[in-house]
Structure 1
Amino acid sequence: MLKKTTIAMAVAVATTLTLSASAAEQQKYEIGGGLSHFLFDDDMDLNDDTGLRGLLGYRFSDRWGMELVLDKLSTETDMSGLDADVTQYFLSGLYHFNVDSNVQPYLSLGWGQGETEVGSFSNESTATNVGAGIKWFLNENFAVRPSVNHFFNTEYDEDHTTVGLTLSYLWGGASAPKPTPAPKPTDRDGDGVADASDRCGSTPSGVSVNAMGCPLDTDGDGVYDYQDKCASTAAKLKVDAKGCPVKLTDTVSIDLNVNFDSNSDVVKAQYFSEIRRVAKFLSQYQGTKAVIEGHTDTSGSAAYNKSLSQRRADSVARVLVQEMGVAQSRVSAMGYGEERPIADESTREGREANRRVVAKVSATVESMEAK
């Protein structure tokens, strides 16, 4: 029984601490009715059950009040199953907390009498009780009251607990002051997003905005819709101040740092990142084609160098198509051998500079410049 009492009181306290508050006005008089569930010690030989409750109350001040409670219960004995009627009434003093709230916890201390009738047998006793509860005001005149009370019998060792739920009508207080409305959040640009959350506080009137108060940018090109003259630009393309793609017509050369083993045309995997630059460039400039040019120095015969440079250019072109996914129609290869030197062949550095691979990308039509 003690365990049940402890749990019930803990639930009441936890509920008291977690409910939120708002302004409420105190009324002096109270009348209420509801249910009362009895939890008996095992020694009392009575089944736990639910009965009826009525109460009358008076509130002296914001914090102090008193009430008279009547509980009636029809149940049975545990052992013999005989009908049993339990009646108790008790007078309690109440101390209220959180008195400026619509949800007011309270503690109570009281004394009363009880009578148990089983057949022709009747037993009367007195008991002190401690309790806790909540007055949850639905409006100025009605309140829901969950509560728990534990009774210490002054004549016997058996105690019991009641858990009550009451609906009360209250009257006799002053008119409740209307709560002061919270200030309306400011929205200087009138876009429907409060200034405290608005990251674009000067949006022109009538412009559609997102949850952060910034104008919409449907195509994600960095130009707001209301300023965008080309509202369906592909996301990867560079745009001007009006949101329209920047056009490109120039031919662009990309030098590739791709080296080959002596007398080899096999592209090593370590150079794929270099070739990937060309693939990315082609993806950014639609309507373009790439010519992979192979060049050598003057070491060896001109005919051999011509053949070697062609094979190496073909190898780089194959990587672009097969590994990087560039369309075959956009890539071609040309070996120039030693025909187009860019440095003096009399030095080692010059010869190294002439052994090169170049990708030349040219626009076949006007294309859009990507970001």
Structure 2
Amino acid sequence: MKLNKTFLAVAAAFPLLSSAVMADTVSSADLKERVFGSLFGEYYMPDLDKTESAEWNYMEKDWGYGVELGYYLTEQWALRLEFAKLDLQSKLDGSDADGNRIGLDAMYHISQLPSVYLVGGLKRFDAVQDTTAFNVGIGYKHFFNQNFALFAEANRYQGIDETYADAGVKVGLTYVFGSASAAPAPKPAPAPAPVAPVQPVAPADTDADGVVDSADKCANTPANHKVDATGCTIYEEKMASVGDIDIEVRFPFDSATIPADKISDVEGLGAFMQRFPESTVLIEGHASNIGNPDYNMRLSERRANSVADMLKKDFNIDPSRITAIGYGVTRPRVEGNTRAAHRANQRIEAKVTAKIKEPVLR
């Protein structure tokens, strides 16, 4: 007696198949106490002793088909009746070696892999000879909905009154009759006994800022101020312009050197920026409308940079806080072509921005 190698390969593939195919849409509990029927095709593989024996008419491997009728006893156990037609031939002369198989099986569905089941049962054959065998096998069933499923199953048939070990692989369609029983609706929880409402006593808030007196560290805050958890005004800091500062740096004609009598104006700007370390300044250089405009533009830039350089070197102001730009003759303070207009326009202006602190209003 020789064990069929094809049966072993197919049986070993079922656990892998259960993890490769998408999960079923039906649980084991949905199948309990339901009747099912199946149609299947089967590739039947007689023992090698049969294929080489005249007593078995040199029975060859071939196809068969059949039907099943079963019942799910529990979530894991089921019983089924099977009838199969084995359409076999003799490999010697092609004569019929077919017959029928009928039997009863028990099925056990594995809890951890509900789509995989084990099967065992007793069968009666009348192919060439009348014999009895018991079978063991493994199967995989995949449900597409509450009723329909495809299945594949491999079995080994061990002869009882004759010594042989046949094998077969079935593929078929199962229909489960009826539908899953609906779970009973949970009983509603009893209504709680009514409780008389307790009227709360509001704690005192004298300044009406939303913080009770016991936690208020800043009494009498203005009514339009937002306050924190301690009742104190919330402030926000922001950068805002503090106005244009005309530092009155007047340059001689065609010069970018700060005159000695104007250095004090630049020093005042530097002292202010040291006092307010988060302040920034925009230094604007201007020129009179005499001569070439492009040259005057570059001259105004040199004038702005001369003030910026003094702030950096003498007052250690970080360069990131200083912006120097030349406007040439594009922004005159005094219009006209007089000597007074030219002197007024040969200048530096500074725009300072500093951080201010303001209360947040409601």
Question: Normalised by the shorter chain, which TM-score bucket?
Answer: 0.3 to 0.5
Determine which structure has greater relative contact order: mean sequence separation of CA pairs < 8 Å that are 6+ residues apart, divided by chain length: 2
TM norm structure 1: 0.43
